[in-house]
Amino acid sequence: MGLSERPAEFTPLRIAREGITFIPSIIYHHPTDFKRTIRLIQRKVVTPSNIISSFAPLNELQTALEKAAGGDESKIVVTV
């Protein structure tokens, strides 16, 4: 689950019935890494749009996970 200040809509019953688990993580040193990343983007060393390979709605999460496990995707953004 990514970081967002916008509200997310989901159905708790579906999450409970299907045993869906959300595990948030932050794997960077904030704000130092953010500043460095912004500089890399400004210098065009990194192009974020090239990192995201596809988008998938939450109701297609299983398919997205299967695609990710196949190794052909770099990053799949799951939209809620």
User: Tokens at residue 33, please?
Assistant: 């890494």
Determine contact, residues 37/46, Cβ cutoff 8 Å.
Answer: yes
pTM as predicted: 0.43
pLDDT digits (tens, 9 = 90+) for 22-40: 777 666 677 888 888 899 9
Torsion of CA 1, 51, 28, 70, to 10 degrees: 60
Domain boundaries defined on the chain? 28-79
Determine contact, residues 6/54, Cβ cutoff 8 Å.
Answer: no
The pLDDT of residue 42: 94
Read off the pLDDT band of 2 (50, 70, 90). Answer: low
